[in-house]
Amino acid sequence: MRSSEQRRPRRSKSSTFKRITRPPSMVAQVEQALRRAIAENYFPNGKLPTEVELAEQLGVSRETVRLAAEALQREGLILKIRHRGTFIQPPTLGRLKRVQQKLVGYVQTDFVDAQGHEEFANREISGRMLQGALDEASKAGFQLLVRRTTTREWRETVRAFCDAGHVRGIMCVSYQEEKMLRRLAGCDSPIVLLDEDANVPGIHSVRDDSLQGAREAIRYLAQLGHRRIAYAHWARTERNPSRPLGYRQGMRDAGLYRRPKWEIPTELTEVGTRRMVDELLALQPCPTALYCFNNTLAKMAIDELRRRAVRVPEDLSVMGAGGEEVLGLTCHQADWYQMGRAAMQVLLRALAEQGQSATQHLRLPHILCVGHTTAAPASKATK
């Protein structure tokens, strides 16, 4: 009988099976396809198609596209913003290692109504603040990664900044959400609110001193002889609670009687202004001066009053509270450019001191600008 070795022929090394290489997963293939498309500028407008559209074009499931997109977002190649879509990050984000220590985020928030229409966004103010921040950052060798968002999408935009890990600090302009800020306060990146207050430990803030400005406005009108001063304020009082408080304090400082009906809420639109003027002119006795939430509202109020043959300032003095430049308007105005610079200085100082700096809350004063929309009231109106 033959031995088992004699019955089994030996296999040569060349006859053994080679290890099978697994093909890339569908998610990896979609990832590669999107990388190539971004590199070849396949999306010139900077926005990717929806997940449904990409799934149909690539012949894969929507879930596969979603997983691939999430991988690219973690790397900072794309940014997904809720209700707006998926966008390609600026080209430098693909090579951020060399500039990572010199990049800060700047989130500018616009306000929209329930229908998604822009309710109020003072581009002149935001433009000046951004320019101040840019100039100060440039002096220190930093770059700004700017994102515009809405109140509804603010949370997702800020979270995307933090999750990507590309920026060393974030400046949030004209909006804050306390719950999200409390989460951010525990991270290593400093947060500075610009044109907004903060009640969260560890979050810096820089804004204009609205309370002081309103008190000075009422003091100025009282010195002219006005005793009945109405205040037209933005219906969204929570956006700036300091200004109505300053109005009330100013009336007390001047020893003037204040009636609740003299505080008239309004939307910052032409329709809202017309309704506010209707309510103002129906007051008995009628106020001799109107103090407005901002210069834009004051300008619309003056136009509406003149359409109704109410003379400004002979019949009614009108005063603004900062914002856009309105020729000839009496108002108090903040230095918005300097606010942007100051906020960037706070952010850069916090970065340099690596969390050792104390939380700062800066309030920049308003300056009185006297125009020709205010005057002493008629003698009979002061009685």
* Protein fold of 92-208+335-352: Rossmann fold (3.40.50)
Query: For position 15, what pLDDT does the model report?
Result: 53
Which candidate, 129, 123, 110, 197, places its Cα nearest to that of 339? 129
Please give the residue that has the higher pLDDT: either 373 or 174.
373
pLDDT band at 164 (very low <50, low <70, confident <90, very high): low
Which candidate, 209, 171, 190, places its Cα nearest to that of 344? 171
Query: For position 231, what pLDDT does the model report?
Result: 97
228-241 confidence digits (pLDDT tens): 999 999 887 666 78
Which candidate, 84, 146, 145, places its Cα nearest to that of 112? 84
Please give the residue that has the higher pLDDT: either 15 or 49.
49
The CATH number of 26-89 is: 1.10.10.10
Q: Tell me what percent of the residues of the chain surpass a pLDDT of 70.
A: 80
Interhelix angle 62-74/154-164, nearest 10 degrees: 60
Distance in angstroms (rounded) separating the CA atoms of residues 38 and 32? 10
Residues 6+ apart with CB under 8 A from 73: 79, 80, 160, 163, 164
Q: Considering all CA atoms of the chain, what is the largest pairwise distance in Å, rounded to the nearest integer?
A: 136
Please give the residue that has the higher pLDDT: either 141 or 383.
141
pLDDT for 120 beyond 50: no
Mean pLDDT of the region 12-29:
65
Is the separation of the CB atoms in 61 and 25 below 8 Å?
Answer: no
Distance in angstroms (rounded) separating the CA atoms of residues 162 and 109? 17
Domains 26-89 and 92-208+335-352 share a fold: no
Polymer length of the chain: 383
CA dihedral 27, 30, 31, 36 (to 10 degrees): 160
Mean pLDDT of the region 20-37:
78
The CATH number of 210-333+368-382 is: 3.40.50.2300
SS3 letters for 187-230?
Answer: CCCCEEEECCCCCCCCCEEEEECHHHHHHHHHHHHHHHCCCCEE
pTM, rounded to two decimals: 0.67
In the chain, where the domains are located: 26-89, 92-208+335-352, 210-333+368-382
Least confident residue range of 83-92, 130-139, 142-151, 154-163: 83-92
